[in-house]
């Protein structure tokens, strides 16, 4: 039993430190938008970083301009579905642009914006960024950044509305 406890403690210590010796608290967040493809359960979701200022301004400007929908105001109505498999995108704003948007989730035609002042929910919106729906554009960038391969694309693509 003592050996099992030591093994579990050692494993926990290894998981809390990165290979380069830094703990997660020492790692600075990247500058830009960190885009998580919410697809896995139990393991970290793949992500990529958007660092181009024009793309950041385009995406955040479009999201910021959406009117809120007061009919959806509680966390229990999150746009992230409680399902296995593809659940949309979670975008975290570390860019310094539009500081009133901390992060947002997008799934289909639903958007959930986390602002310093609280959540804002938008349902059944039509948000195009550079001529494409924002979810489709984030999906395309995930593919072009090598975050997902053609196998994952084949399974997730049809799930996008």
pLDDT, one tens digit per residue, over 107-141 is: 887 788 888 887 776 665 666 666 567 888 888 89
Task: Report if residue 2 sits inside a domain.
Answer: no
The verdict on residue 148 lying in a domain is: yes
Does the residue 149 lie in any domain? yes
Domain ranges, residue 115 = 28-159
pLDDT at 42 (0 to 100): 83
Number of domains the chain is built from: 1
Show the low-confidence residues of the chain (pLDDT under 70): 1-28, 68-77, 121-132, 157-161
| H-assigned helices in the chain | 2-16, 53-64, 134-144, 150-156
Within-domain flag for 14: no
**E-assigned strand segments in the chain:** 33-37, 47-50, 89-93, 103-107, 110-115, 118-122, 128-129, 132-133
Is 106 contained in some domain? yes
Residue at 21 is within a domain: no
Residue 4, domain member (yes or no): no
**Is residue 3 a part of any domain in this protein?**
no
pLDDT value, residue 56: 95
pLDDT of residue 85: 82
């Amino acid at each position: 039993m003592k050996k099992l406890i030591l093994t579990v403690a050692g494993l926990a210590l290894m998981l809390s430190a990165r290979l380069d010796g830094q703990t997660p608290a020492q790692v600075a967040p990247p500058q830009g938008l960190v885009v998580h493809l919410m697809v896995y359960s139990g393991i970290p979701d793949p992500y990529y970083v958007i660092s181009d200022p024009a793309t950041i301004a385009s995406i955040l400007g479009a999201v910021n301009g959406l009117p809120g929908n007061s009919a959806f105001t509680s966390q229990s109505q999150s746009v992230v579905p409680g399902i296995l498999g593809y659940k949309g995108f979670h975008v975290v704003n570390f860019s310094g642009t539009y500081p009133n948007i901390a992060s947002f989730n997008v799934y289909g035609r639903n958007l959930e914006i986390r602002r310093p002042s609280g959540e804002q929910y938008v349902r059944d919106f039509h948000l195009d960024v550079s001529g494409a729906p924002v979810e489709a554009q984030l999906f395309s960038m995930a593919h072009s950044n090598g975050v997902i391969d053609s196998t994952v694309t084949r399974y997730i693509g049809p799930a996008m509305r």
